[in-house]
Amino acid sequence: MDQAYKSGFISIIGRPNVGKSTFMNRVIGQKIAIMSDKPQTTRNTIQGVLTEKDAQFVFIDTPGIHKPKHKLGDFMVKVAENTLNEVDVVMFMINAAEGFGRGDQFIIDRLQKVRGPVFLIINKIDQVHPEKLLELITEYKDKYDFEEIVPISALEGNNVDHLLTVIKQHLPEGPQYYPEDQVTDHPERFIMGELIREKVLQLTREEVPHSIAVVIENIEEREDDKLLLQASVITERSSQKGIIIGKQGSMLKEIGKRARKDIESLLGTKIYLELWVKVQKDWRNRPHQLHEYGFRSDEY
């Protein structure tokens, strides 16, 4: 008798910068979540879909749970917390190299209300000695009754297949929610904006904090079969605008060059990419602008 098909939703939560997006991109097999070594890279929940012959995993990569400092921060934490009781499995991911911190306690306090299974995923095990790993497992076991504890390296791929096998055991029988060739529920327009934002974060480093958003203004097909993509990078201060543009436009040109390469890979076609930089003061505290830039919840 054939084994029943399984499917379910898995929320990935954790402090900022523990490797949630790296894991997502690893299991999905292509870049759908942006990666940066700055915390708070992910703002909306991003659903990644992995389809196997006997199961479909729908991963929800949430913003890092943290104590918010502005309305955008409030939005991000609410989004992450709201997924916890709506999914079949919660993956609480930590960074093995950092160990336990106050931010983890903040999350564990919220996990007390979760009804379903919670896994502890110890990521970045390639960066620590095995003895440190055993200490971490003991320390976290004392703080919460985890269903499973799985050490992995999302970057290197260590133990990721085993983790998927364990998750599958906890998924309910269910339908295939998405076509087998679909890897995300986000429209291409959203992912294109995220790829541009990723390049800004990578290239400007500490000079430009997370006070940027990217708005895709226009997409049109040209006569030469290339797509014209026009986008605005929104920032809060004129000084940040100057940094993003760079001397004689050099920084913006490099951002565009790198983003164009990733977007062409995503779309499978050549594009023209035109970027502008606009200043919108204090946009992260303005509900109507949060809504306009794609941060949507019942409250905004």
pTM: 0.60
Give domain limits for the chain: 6-170, 188-292
What's the whole-number average pLDDT of the chain? 80
What's the pLDDT tens digit per position in 30-76?
Answer: 665 554 444 444 444 557 889 899 999 988 876 555 555 556 556 66
Q: What is the rounded average pLDDT of the residues 85-103?
A: 89
Supply 141's token pair. 């076991």
- Exposed/middle/buried for 263, CB within 10 Å: 0-12, 13-18, 19+? buried
Q: Is the dihedral of CA 285, 287, 293, 298 positive or negative?
A: positive
What's the pLDDT tens digit per position in 125-184?
Answer: 999 999 999 999 999 999 999 999 999 999 999 999 999 999 999 999 988 887 777 777
Q: Which residues contact 185 (CB under 8 A, 6 or more apart)?
A: 47, 49, 178
Q: Does the domain formed by 188-292 have CATH 1.10.10.60?
A: no
Report yes or no: 266 and 220 within 8 Å, Cβ to Cβ.
no
Q: Does the domain formed by 6-170 have CATH 3.40.710.10?
A: no
pLDDT at residue 274 is higher than 60: yes
Give residue 18's pLDDT band: very low, low, confident or very high (50, 70, 90): confident
What's the pLDDT tens digit per position in 210-251?
Answer: 667 888 888 787 778 788 888 888 888 888 888 899 999 999
Report yes or no: 193 and 204 within 8 Å, Cβ to Cβ.
no
